[in-house]
Amino acid sequence: MEIKNINGYEFLTFQNDCAEIVFSTSKQGLNLNKNLNIGLENLDKVKGFFKLDNIEYLNQIHSDIIYSYNEKSIKELDGDSIITNKRNIGIGIFTADCVPVIIVDNKEKVIAAIHSGWKGTYEKIVLKTINKMVKDYNINPKDLSIYIGPHNRSCCYEVSQELIEKFKNLDIYKNININQGRYLDLEKCIFAQLALIGVEKENINTIKLCTYCCENYKLYSYRKIDEREGRLFSFVYMK
């Protein structure tokens, strides 16, 4: 991981053979909430910082809806996962505790950005996105590189016992220790989805930072009342 400082703002980045993966932080108050004017202004700044032709995102609704971006904007569409094979187009998702997942296929030159909160994780949106990449772009899961960004990790992600049991009733999570008491580990659930479809474990990169308790970087957390309008933006683009 590389830390990029641009105009006082801080980004956590990875360089892939064909793509750059970027996770924003909230340093210097960088809020990328698309529903706020300041968020739209900051998204335009990010577009300029990384010299992108465009940035595409969705109206996130905690679903398992997946779109492919070709040339027509998808910004008005409801969904939580984007796939593209277009160069110099940033595709990204907004988070403030949910799990951002970025996928890169160097061989077929295809990328994806996924918003996986508890609902998306329960609906296996990461697995479904890869299935769509296999079907529509002819990728092989063994060729994928995965990047998991900051989120509310198992140290702090307390949920109801009812939700824990809801997850454990799914076959995919039945034999995995996905919780400690009422603390749910969404990342373990996502790892299970990746393993099921054949992604190599050594190709999974995770930033082990919790949006709620991290002290080394500034990160928004929806569970902190004074940060509820703040959004991080995780995106990827092909060079």
**CB 143 within 8 Å of CB 130:** no
Q: Domain containing 117 — which CATH number?
A: 3.60.140.10
Identify the CA nearest to 95 among candidates 226, 237, 211, 213: 211
Mapping DSSP to helix (H, G, I), strand (E, B) and coil, where does residue 237 land?
strand
Q: Which amino acid is at 207?
A: I
Would you call 235 exposed, middle or buried from its count of C-beta atoms within 10 A (0-12, 13-18, 19+)? buried
H or E element: which one contains 224?
A: none
Mapping DSSP to helix (H, G, I), strand (E, B) and coil, where does residue 145 land?
strand
**CB 157 within 8 Å of CB 214:** no
Nearest-angstrom CA–CA distance, 147 and 109: 16
Summarised one tens digit per residue, pLDDT across range 151-175 is 999 999 999 999 999 999 999 998 8
**CB 102 within 8 Å of CB 113:** yes
Domain that holds residue 147: 2-238
Print pLDDT tens along the chain (239 aa): 999 999 999 999 999 999 999 999 999 999 999 999 999 999 999 999 999 999 999 999 999 999 999 989 999 999 999 999 999 999 999 999 999 999 999 999 999 999 999 999 999 999 999 999 999 999 999 999 999 999 999 999 999 999 999 999 999 998 899 999 999 999 999 999 999 999 999 999 999 999 999 999 999 999 997 889 999 999 999 99
Summarised one tens digit per residue, pLDDT across range 84-105 is 999 999 999 999 999 999 999 9
Nearest-angstrom CA–CA distance, 117 and 85: 25
What domain count does the chain have?
1
